[in-house]
A and B are shown apart, each in its own frame.
Chain A
Amino acid sequence: MAERSVLSIRDLAVQFRSEQGTVRALDGVSFDLRAGRTLGIVGESGCGKSVTARSILRLIDWPGRITGGQILLDPEEPQPTDLTALGPESRRMREVRGGRVGLIFQEPMTALSAHYTVGNQIIEAVLQHRDLSKADAKAQAIALLGEVGIPHPQRRIDAYPFELSGGLRQRVGIAMALAGDPDILIADEPTTALDVTTQAQILGLLQRLQREKGIALMLITHDMGVIAEMADEVAVMYLGRIVETAPVARLFAAPRHPYTRALLRAVPSILATPRQRLSTIGGAVPHPGLRPGGCSFHPRCAENLGERCRREVPAPVPLNEDGGASCFLAEDAA
């Protein structure tokens, strides 16, 4: 039995306009975030991971805009809220952003100001989403800092961000994201800028918080190791589309999209033999403004079927628990 879906993205499309033309940064993206589960989103630079995250929070600025699809909060309730229908600065959207949905950035300074103490900023965030006295908000901020594993929170609350190490700063970033007591957390490469030992600590922290609070976690990364460590389900993105979804064990054991297969073979491994070569994927990710026709992966695909892949667009991945791949090979195998 699948967990309750708390957020359903359906056919989401986002375009950026530029002098060179229109870039379809997202081109029909669909997935669900479920209570207590982690959806890992993986893909190479520019495939649309961050745009997906920012769309959910309605943080896409001009020249970008959502041009289609729905972002349904509480899709299983009688009256879901479609976030694409809300004004980005509307009262309801402000409540959702940082309230129901918390965001953790790659660089925690994106969320923090250099000019205020971490305490002031977390208290501010707490007050924005909860009706508390200043003193209670401060107590809450200290509790949050403790919860994310910051030693001596009573003391650290008066620190400025620059006085903290990268790892502690990311913990503060997580405390900020938790200030509104969200049940959905979106983490956009939260450990990419950190060392492995710090990364391991932060990933452990996210796992613990999720378990304790039943949070639906959307974890964006380009690191297959992080996916293997963290995700329950995985969505692989390529050029603004999801090309494969699968439960994590299945994705690694039996990837169904040629891009996923190629990506997995190209990842350096801690278990490599000396001087072991890697399989490579021909070419590079094209600019999304120059999306190839047919299956957009076909020019790089070692398994492509020729004419058909050049001309026809494979069906999007099915929205079921077992997932699937947007590829004719997978369609034919099914």
Chain B
Amino acid sequence: MNLLEVADLKKHFPIRAGLLRREVGQVRAVDGVSFHIAAGETLALVGESGCGKTTVSRCILRAQRATSGAIRFMPEDGRVVDLATIPKRELRPLRRHVQMIFQDPYASLNPRMMVGDIIAEPLKVNGVPAAERRARVLELLELVQLPASARTRFPHAFSGGQRQRIGIARALALNPRLVVADEPVSALDVSVQAQIINLLLDLQDRLRLSMLFVAHDLSVVRHVSDRVAVMYVGRMAEVAPTDALYRSPRHPYTEALLAAVPAPDPGRRGRRAPVAGEVADPARPPPGCAFHPRCPYAVDRCRVERPELREVEPGRWASCHRAQELSLAGVT
């Protein structure tokens, strides 16, 4: 079995209105999402804002309880738990296996704690003795390429990129099986972003890190991920190995997303017209394929029948009625 298998995950939020706050509808933030992450693999979860990426990651971290579906996770070889349904009590010892890297390196570190204590905190919570903690903190600082002297300083003394390294060290303290990173480089400047991307690539190699990398920047994703899962309005549009997805997308939404990214090359200027329209409201998703109002390839069937995610070739999944017949443009 894979390290993580998410099957038909749903998370619906009630919409309340009126004096009595009665439920008048539901936001289908995540509406039947399936994917897996193999050990040692980085899967990127991409899509426009509001498509449900953060909600998926919060369900995996159990910061939110799934409405339905399964999140099968293998904390150690031969043992599988369902993070969607496992009782709170049994969840606690599992938390060390799934750690999080946050987007905002300014908000995610306690300004009143020394860096060494911030990194050691998960160790302390898990009962690691003080001497071992100190050794581990030094090891972690080295791993994220910060000087040992950082231990006794406070977060305000560090730049955004250095703070992100501290956050990464903290996330790795307990050797988690899975790291969930929600937009870990999107708040950083180009030069700092490049350093953190390289660090993540190093860690993937050195630690065989398994990672769910939530991002909206398709360029960053091409550098760091082994496979990519593209979401649209709470559902999975396409899942594929990274290079294959960029070269030859199998879902019209993936094609539209790729075409919209401005390449840092004036010679490629203005090649394609951007996709029209706006992302649908997850409280009122269009019938049939949610992408059909914006899809240049939509046919009658797309307006009435919802396409399921199907394996369109070995290792590649797409939820488009026309996935087999269309030949879509990638970026090469």
Contacts and interface: CB of A to CB of B under 8 A. Distances in A.
A205 to B, nearest CB: 10
A18 interface: no
A267 B49 contact: no
Contact of B217 (A222, A268, A278, A285): A268
- Which of A264, A267, A274 gathers most chain B CB within 10 Å? A274
A199 interface: yes
Nearest to A207: B270
A200 B48 CA distance: 13
Contact of A284 (B159, B257, B265): B159
B80 interface: no
Interface residues of A, number: 47
Given A249-B266, A280-B194, A270 B331 contact: yes
B189 A270 contact: no
Given A272-B223, A285-B189, A197 B262 contact: no
A195 B48 contact: yes
B217 to A, nearest CB: 7
Nearest to A278: B194
Interface in B211-243: 216-220, 222-224, 226, 242-243
A252 interface: yes
Contacts of B193: 266, 268
Given A228-B265, A228-B269, A272 B192 contact: no
Interface stretch (B60-68, B273-281, B305-313, B314-322): B273-281
B249 to A, nearest CB: 12
B264 interface: yes
Nearest to B267: A249
Interface in B159-211: 159, 161, 189-195, 197-198, 201, 204
B263 A269 contact: yes
Interface residues of B, number: 50
A117 interface: no
B71 interface: no
Contacts of B198: 277-278, 280
A248 interface: yes
B7 interface: no
3 nearest A-B pairs in the assembled complex, by CB-CB distance: A225-B262, A200-B274, A278-B194
Contacts of B56: none
Given A195-B48, A284-B159, A229 B279 contact: no
Contact of A223 (B224, B262, B273, B278): B262
Interface string A272-291: 11111111110011000000
Given A200-B262, A228-B264, A266 B219 contact: no
A127 interface: no
A264 B264 contact: yes
Given A197-B257, A271-B263, A275-B223, A263 B191 contact: yes
Nearest to B219: A268
A177 interface: no
Given A272-B219, A274-B243, A275-B223, 12 more contacts: A198-B278, A200-B260, A222-B190, A225-B261, A249-B267, A252-B265, A268-B217, A268-B222, A271-B332, A272-B223, A277-B198, A278-B197
Given A229-B270, A268-B193, A268-B197, A275 B263 contact: no
Given A165-B278, A228-B264, A196 B218 contact: yes
Contacts of A293: none
A228 B222 contact: no
- Which of B197, B218, B219, B262 gathers most chain A CB within 10 Å? B262
Contact of A270 (B161, B261, B279): B261
Given A195-B48, A196-B257, A280 B195 contact: yes
B264 A274 contact: no
A290 to B, nearest CB: 13
B256 interface: yes
Contact of B224 (A198, A224, A275): A275
A290 B87 CA distance: 54
Contact of A269 (B49, B219, B224, B279): B219
B264 A267 contact: yes
A167 interface: yes
